[in-house]
Structure 1
Amino acid sequence: MRRFFTRIGCLAAVAMLATMVAAPAQAAPTARACATPPSVQAGSVETGASSPADATEPVYFTMTTAGSREPFVIKLTDPAKIEHARRILSGEETSRTHVMGRIIKRPAPYNPAYSFHFDPNTIDFFEMAIEVCDATLSYVEDHLDEACGAFLPGCLFCPWSSKLVAEVPAS
């Protein structure tokens, strides 16, 4: 009986996540602390191309989660998100401080310690998120073959223990 309720709970969580991801893009952006970022809702994928509005040079930041073996590098290209990340590091932003986005299951040149990275077009910051997308960096790395299915449905990763550590100096 216990397994039955666990499975029902998992299915309900996946259904909630699917509903959030499939929400119409024109919905009013309210209380985004718990919401899926609009870029994730739109189902964007990493293409390497950017729109004219996003003609900013990429800025890289390191983050960790509980028990991280190595810092994880994220790439931000949206000027508003770059500024938000800088406010987190300065201590000015204290609410939406955790990092979320869709993972891509292959390494990125700027993040060599891991076999996956965030799609830069989907990265956002949150205060609270649903449990089905929570994990640590090391857990995702160790279970990457299971990610994007029942584990991290839709490849959405929102580590509750995520913390920005530093901005990577431009080289």
Structure 2
Amino acid sequence: MPRYFAFEQPSSPGQEFIIELTDEQTIDHALKILSGEEQSRVHVHGRIIKRTQPYNPRFSFYLDPATINFFDMAIEVCDANMVYVEDHLDEAGGAFLPGSHWCPWDSRLTREITSN
């Protein structure tokens, strides 16, 4: 069963991006980040899909759950803040975010989204 998590970026104050996790190991890793048990691989990486999802309606893109993982360090070419990605989404997948890989260096999970 999928679970949903939010992350924020200091470079995009007041914004929150929602991701869907479907893999049990990735979900467990996300929960360890939130509990503070995982201190190293805490930043979000995945491949952008250029469509809106109901769980993340503020953005015209989402991360493919099958590609989401967490990292400590990554190459600069996939780093961008969520607002910049939204504003330049038509360029994503070319010279901007090659292969549609997005790895916001300052991303940090903030909470699990639970239904009411």
Give TM class, smaller chain.
over 0.9
Deviations 1:46-93 (A, max 9, x none): xxxxxxxxxxx0000001122244211000000010010000001000
Letter paired with 2:7: M
Please, what TM-score do these two structures have when normalized by structure 1? 0.65
Letter paired with 2:105: W
Q: Map 1:19-98; keep pairs closer than 5 Å.
A: 57-65=1-9, 66-98=11-43
- State whether structure 2 residue 70 is matched by structure 1 residue 125: yes
Please, what TM-score do these two structures have when normalized by structure 2? 0.96
8 Å Cα contact 1:60-1:167 kept in structure 2: yes
Q: Which has the larger radius of gyration?
A: 1
Q: Which has the higher contact order (CA 8 A, sep 6+)?
A: 2
Q: Secondary structure of 1:121's partner?
A: helix
Q: Secondary structure of 1:106's partner?
A: coil
Match of 2:58 in 1: 113
In 1, distance between residues paired with 2:99 and 2:13?
23
Deviations 1:25-56 (A, max 9, x none): xxxxxxxxxxxxxxxxxxxxxxxxxxxxxxxx
Q: Secondary structure of 1:87's partner?
A: helix
Runs of 4+ in 1 over 6 A off after TM superposition: none
In 1, distance between residues paired with 2:87 and 2:8?
16
Which residues of structure 2 form unaligned runs of 5+? none
Which protein is richer in strand relative to its size?
2
RMSD: 0.9
8 Å Cα contact 1:74-1:120 kept in structure 2: yes
In 1, distance between residues paired with 2:25 and 2:17?
21
Q: Secondary structure of 1:152's partner?
A: strand
Which residues of structure 1 form unaligned runs of 5+? 1-56
Match of 1:141 in 2: 86
Q: Secondary structure of 1:80's partner?
A: helix
